[in-house]
Chain A
């Protein structure tokens, strides 16, 4: 054979856009991803449309009691469900498999030869999983809003302090609330990437974000110090509720977003370093070693500890649970005032303003032997108010079930025409009594 070879130039790495497009196609052709996409597109709309028409509403879920009053409440109920387990599960399905699938199919060497840049492969995979995650979240948002508006209509929404959000404000705030949970979803997506890189072909990698979210949710159900609570990315899945008070409780929300971004950066960075160091000629090596597992888990544990420490120093009150008597009293007074005005309007009573009511609240937790702080269902509050021109004050009792995240359900027990009955008779018929049972929210960071 006498053929000759001229000295060629080195093969350049594949351009980023085709690599990204390839990763996107690989994700979107998977039956599992398509099925999830379909569910995200149809299930929220169907759920909201059906439940909104029921007489029994999911009152345990925040905004559930308003589902038949406004279409915006349905989207928030879906948001609450998504934040408790839905979003970590979604990112598990997408991000946690994006690297591991190459191990299962035995395609790493093939992909390396085609793209010729581990950095570019990593970036393409990370961006493709982010795109699909955002697509799924977008489907949830659109579907839940469309379902709610179609079934109930575009009406004003009652906030978590009882104030009325006009339809336009409700629309903006609902979309903003969804936008705020994108950052913790990204954090869990990054954890999914890390799990996928770390655990190789092991199916355990697929479960990492879901298991971690479950563990964090369990931790957040306990009366842990606020600083520790805020240092966890899953806290941002709850902090959006602060948008529905007036003024908005933005402290925990902003901290949640920053913490989520830090987790996203740390987990993505760790995944990147571990990935580019992997030897793809060693057939026995799929990246999963005890050493790399520890190397990945340790920095995230340190990040949590350091964040909690910084928050504890910056906000001295954050070493407690954040559920304090004074905060509950202020929150319940505000909510009661707003809802009393709403009830007055619905019943066509003489108009009254929140300021005229001069509402005050006295709360006690579990009697004299129990300290008046911390979550629990043994809070008992007495609300008093004064009507303009009347010499006597009105009073109503509420039993509060306060959860560790600052949310509470106040169950009324007082005058029938105020909070003693679950329905009130209006000119258009019987409607739910806004003062009988109400949702409230306490800013755990607030030093009230």
Chain B
């Protein structure tokens, strides 16, 4: 028995005609790790997840999944499960029929495995309802249940929190957390940094097919040297003058609430100067989280502000 990474990608590239979807991507995911793939639309997340599920093979580079080189399309090691581009369910079938068909295709013992998977994602009560009537969140959970049928060691999930209400999201997060505790490697994509922050230990940021960051979440937060902060004071006009004089700080928006951009050190100086100028500080909050700021900075995406 030797320790083997769940995913080891080195310099993998994938082209669709003249369009490059992935450009020399490196990725390492260890057992029990929950690894987030984040990036704007068209960054290559779904393509990368598709390669991990064996839907295609890379045009260049090397990819090992559970220690086995991926050389052939649709040939992946036993223990890989998941979904890309939606959970892929048949609306005319019931939740149970959808899972039973998949279990049968996988040679799994049907009824107990299906019931167990449905219970795990909290859909046991609606097992015999047609999927047509399911909400997006319920479909996402059913997609997760389908992936759980085979007791995976590498779970690939494309936007698993998409459409989930807070309770559903908590349910999915608990399932993923439990799987991680059991040593299952999880690779998931998301647009939402709060989901990634809640679930993932490591993250890879993709932009136009290239990796712009990969590593622990804490390191990503530190990557962001500048952030936007909303400042509310007792005298906004005087506060704007003080902010303009503070080195390393730029005013993004002036008004009753002042929005400034700069590193944490400059913000510290601003607070000290405001107090020195007899301006009371009533609120100081980051406009976006540090993780999101890092994401926006690294992927050159505009802040929603």
Contact = CB atoms under 8 A, between A and B. Distances in A.
Interface of A: 1-11, 13-15, 18-19, 21-22, 25-26, 29-31, 105-118, 279-285
A194 B1 CA distance: 49
Given A3-B32, A113-B82, A279-B56, A8 B106 contact: no
Interface in B13-58: 14, 16, 30-33, 46-47, 50-51, 53-56
B276 interface: no
B125 to A, nearest CB: 22
Tell me whether chain A's interface is mostly helix, strand or loop, or mixed: loop
B101 A22 contact: yes
7 contacts: A3-B32, A4-B3, A6-B4, A8-B153, A15-B107, A18-B107, A114-B105
Contact of A29 (B76, B92, B180): B92
A3 B55 contact: no
A18 B101 CA distance: 8
B53 A113 contact: yes
Given A4-B2, A10-B78, A18 B88 contact: no
B111 interface: no
Nearest to A7: B67
A113 B4 contact: no
Contact of A109 (B16, B88, B91): B88
Contacts, number: 141
A110 B92 contact: no
B89 interface: yes
B70 to A, nearest CB: 10
Contacts of A114: 102, 105-106
User: Which of the four size classes fits the interface of chain B?
Assistant: 35 or more
Nearest to B81: A113
B77 interface: yes
A9 B87 contact: no
Given A4-B2, A5-B153, 11 more contacts: A3-B182, A5-B5, A6-B1, A7-B67, A8-B78, A21-B101, A105-B88, A110-B89, A114-B105, A116-B76, A281-B50
Interface in B151-193: 153, 180, 182-183, 185
B91 A10 contact: no
A5 B91 contact: no
Nearest to A107: B88
B105 A8 contact: no
Contact of A4 (B4, B54, B55, B106): B4
B79 interface: yes
A14 B106 contact: yes
Which 5 pairs, one residue from A and one from B, show the smallest C-beta to C-beta distance?
Answer: A110-B88, A3-B183, A1-B32, A14-B105, A3-B31
Nearest to B65: A8
